Amino acid sequence: MSEILAAERILDFCWVGAGALVTQTLALHGADVIKIESSARPDNLRVSPPFRPGQRDLNGSGYFASRNSGKRSFALNMKHPRAREVATELARVSTIVTSNYRPGVLERWGLGYADLCPDNPGLIHLSMPMQGSDGPHRDFAGFGSTIQALAGLVAPSGLPGRTPLGTNTHYPDHLPNPGHALVALLGAIYRRDLTGQGAELELAQFESTVNMMGPDVVAASVTGKSPAPHGNALAGYEPRGVYPASGDDRWVAISAAAKDCARVVDVLKERAVEPPSEDLEGWLAAATSRWEAEELVERLQAVGIAAAEVLTTAELLEDAHLAKRGFWRRLVHPTMGEIVVPGLPFQLNGAPIADERPAPMLGQHTWEVAESVLGLTRSEYERGVEEGLFQ
């Protein structure tokens, strides 16, 4: 843990997708992230697969564990009449409040930026509504997969004439939206450290994702046209595609500028049965299948051609390069046992993330936070538990 953000305390109402990854990055750089959740309405990820066989409970989701490590869990039932008072007190002693609820939910609880700012003028308040807090579609609902369709990312991804594919994941939740939110949030921290001024940040997930289509937006504004589905091909590149290697469902991705095509052909000629033909793609696929994937990648890389094995999740976890860089973290979770979670894709001063705190169990840190942050006595805390406040 770099401890760069050791001065930050985050009151975290983020749940499910994009928001959880924002606050996980902050936690892994030293911030105290207090995740507000409740067994009365658990984070949907806590009930989402995968689970280890026989461990399907609120603390057993691998999906949840992969994006909440390093955080503290504070069980607070927001439906309890005293919950808002507790949350407001936590907000007063926090530097950042985060949420990805629909517009208006935090404001209804008196936890909007305007409510909290007077007592905490340096506060940074991040909300991540799908479409923004205003406009005719402000209340529309969505998930990563619908946002990427809306933003134009799905239509050109796939083969011509077939159903378009996108990423086949909720991609905007995993990279574009946490990424842009972190840029805004860290920019605001930088400003606050200089001036003391807080900030109200809004990341509309639709708009953030449209930025990942920026070059095509610029082009469409001039030409009026959109990119068509193009498989793995790209203008100016030949070959560029995914080709079969020896074995069952083994593939190699190869990408060469057209001027480098001969270098690829020269390597593949070493084992090809037929000489290169007019149908270059067909010839390539026949030629590549005579190679082990790893061997072909090494040979092409040796002549400066971009090539990589199409790695499966099983292979990624065994990947020697990622292991050397310390990317995967093997954590011990109180009920799940040993689990693997990703680190962060950037290293500061050559150090991978070494934080060993797994995702919290629901409410694991309620007493700890109640005592150390809110200054409650044990009996006050126990009364809260009995009343269903800390639940």
Partner 1 sequence: MFAPLEGVRVIDLAGQRGAYTGRLLADLGADVIRVVRGAEPLSDVGPHVQTPDGTTVSAFELFVNLNKRSVLLDAADNEGLAALVATADVVVHTMTWDELADCGLDQATLSRIAPRAVITSVLPFGADGPRSGFAGDDLTQLAAGGLLCLGGYPDSEPIAVHGGQSDLGAALVATTGILLALIGRRHGRHVDQVDVSAQETVAGALEDAIPEYDLTGVVRRRRGDRAREAGTGTYPCADGYVAVVAGRMGTAAGWAALTTWMVEAGVEGADEVASEVWLDFNHRQLPESIDRFEKVFAGFAADRTRERLYEEGQRRGIAIAPVNQVHELFESPQLQARRFFVDITGGAVPSVRVPGRPYRVDGDTEFVRRAAPIAGQHTHEVLAELLDGDNQRSRA
263 binds partner 1 (CB under 8 A): no
4 binds partner 1 (CB under 8 A): yes
> 230 or 290: whose CB is closer to partner 1?
230
Q: Least distance from C-beta 371 to partner 1, angstroms?
A: 27
CB 126 within 8 Å of CB 22: yes
Question: Cα dist. 223→184, 213, 216, 220 in Å?
Answer: 31, 15, 10, 5
Phi first, then psi: give them for residue 200, nearest 5 degrees: -105, 115
Q: Which of residues 21-50 bind partner 1 (CB under 8 A)?
A: 25, 29, 44, 48-50
> 86 or 181: whose CB is closer to partner 1?
181
- State the residue for tokens 């991978």: 352
Between the CA atoms of 373, 12, 77 and 365, what dihedral angle is there, to the nearest 10 degrees?
-50
381 binds partner 1 (CB under 8 A): no
Applying CB under 8 A, among 81, 118, 223, 248 the residue interacting with partner 1 is 223
Q: One of 12, 32, 43, 173 is an active-site residue; which one?
A: 173
CB 78 within 8 Å of CB 42: no
> 313 or 379: whose CB is closer to partner 1?
313
Q: Which of 178, 236, 255 is nearest to 23 (CA)?
A: 178
Which part of the chain contacts partner 1 (CB under 8 A), choosing from 77-85, 252-260, 262-270, 365-373?
252-260
Cis bond leading into 352, ω under 30°? no
Q: Least distance from C-beta 5 to partner 1, angstroms?
A: 7
350 binds partner 1 (CB under 8 A): yes
> 234 or 354: whose CB is closer to partner 1?
234
User: Does residue 173 carry a catalytic annotation?
Assistant: yes
220 binds partner 1 (CB under 8 A): yes
88 binds partner 1 (CB under 8 A): no
147 binds partner 1 (CB under 8 A): yes
**Between 168 and 207, how does the x/- string for binding to partner 1 read (CB under 8 A)?**
xxxx--xxx--xxxxxx-xxxxxx-xx----xxxxxx-xx
Tokens at 134, concatenated: 């205003």
109 binds partner 1 (CB under 8 A): no
CB 120 within 8 Å of CB 193: no
366 binds partner 1 (CB under 8 A): no
Which part of the chain contacts partner 1 (CB under 8 A), choosing from 92-100, 238-246, 373-381, 382-390?
238-246
Q: Which of residues 330-349 bind partner 1 (CB under 8 A)?
A: 336, 339-349
- What residues contact 93, with CB distance under 8 A and at least 6 apart? 9, 373
Q: Least distance from C-beta 285 to partner 1, angstroms?
A: 9
Residue type, 98: T
**Between 272 and 301, how does the x/- string for binding to partner 1 read (CB under 8 A)?**
-----------------------------x
Applying CB under 8 A, among 196, 224, 248, 379 the residue interacting with partner 1 is 224
Q: Least distance from C-beta 295 to partner 1, angstroms?
A: 14
The site for partner 1, by CB under 8 A, has a size of: 150
Cis bond leading into 50, ω under 30°? yes
Q: Where are the beta strands (DSSP E) in 56-123?
A: 72-75, 96-99
253 binds partner 1 (CB under 8 A): yes
385 binds partner 1 (CB under 8 A): no
What is the distance between the alpha carbons of residues 6 and 31, in angstroms, rounded to a whole number? 5
Helical pair 280-288 and 261-269, crossing angle rounded to 10 deg: 40
- What residues contact 158, with CB distance under 8 A and at least 6 apart? 164, 165, 166, 229, 231
Residues found in the chain:
391
What amino acid positions are annotated as catalytic residues? 173
